[in-house]
Amino acid sequence: MLKQIVVILCSILLVSCAKHAGINGYTGPELSPAPLQQKFQEIPPLDGPKITIAVYSFTDKTGQRKPNDKFSSLSSAVTQGAESWVIQALQEVGDGTWFQVVERVGLDNLVKERQLIRSTREQYEGEEAKNLKPLLFAGLLIEGAVVGYDSNVVSGGSGARYLGIGAQTQYRVDTVTIAMRVVSVNTGEVLLSVTTQKDIASHASGVDVFKFLDLGTKALEIESGMAINEPVNYAVRAAVEQSIVEIVEQGERRGLWQYKTSDTQKQERVNNDKTMGNYNNPIVDGASK
């Protein structure tokens, strides 16, 4: 009995210490840190009023189904409502000081509700009916989609077995790709375009025992294991947030907007603009000039 316990412990130790060379030095999947909340807060505020921006849709264009090695799945591999993450990321970036997001995903419901309010007021209040405030219109549009989902990009594992006692570990990596662009409503020009990728890590490990007892007339089989799968929604959200961060930084470098700085830094920026020439900003209504 003591010998069997020693063998089990040695097997587990062997697997836990194993190193995977993999492809191009890949050493196995690593869980990513939480989505980019800290980086969102570190972005400097916008120098000027909030930029009014609209998101109509952010669809899944991959057509991929959930990967399954045993049977065909009808469930989609990625979320069909990624615009929720886009809207939330726009509202949170720079501690909420950058974008004013207007409702466009449920525009039909919004228009119908406004028509209902207007007709009800006219019916009961007549000519004295109070008018609704005009809807905000956006100077910029966010367009894009989930354009790629590659399953089983990298996979591997290792294991060891001795006298019917063994342990093994396996891993696989999927990749989701997000494309996002900023379009000027004033001119229709695509001002910014970014593409980001996020790996989705899955890991499984287990220990099993298979022995014959009582002169080979009875079999003993024991299995134990655990699997960790990184949520696909988490990966889509992280990729969306990274895209928003890159859009803000890229737009600042191209002169579409500016970070809020001190008076000295602002004067230096003005002098540089006079030297290099002013950029014809195509953003309208709510954007920094």
**Residue ranges per domain, the chain?**
29-149+178-197+218-276
Extract the tokens encoding 12: 């587990």
| pTM attached to this predicted model | 0.70
pLDDT of 263 reads 52
pLDDT band at 94 (very low <50, low <70, confident <90, very high): confident
For residue 222, pLDDT beyond 90: no
> Mean pLDDT of all residues in the chain?
76
pLDDT band at 224 (very low <50, low <70, confident <90, very high): confident
pLDDT of 267 reads 53
Tokens 């229709």 sit on residue: 188
Comparing 160-169, 170-179, 266-275, which segment has the lowest mean pLDDT?
A: 266-275
Extract the tokens encoding 115: 């028509």
pLDDT band at 288 (very low <50, low <70, confident <90, very high): very low
Residues 47-72 have a mean pLDDT of 79
Residues 192-218 have a mean pLDDT of 80
The residue with greater pLDDT, 145 or 70, is: 145
pLDDT, tens only, 228-272: 877 788 888 888 888 898 999 999 998 888 888 755 545 555 555
pLDDT of 141 reads 92
pLDDT of 10 reads 53
Q: Which fold has domain 29-149+178-197+218-276?
A: Rossmann fold (3.40.50)
pLDDT of 182 reads 92
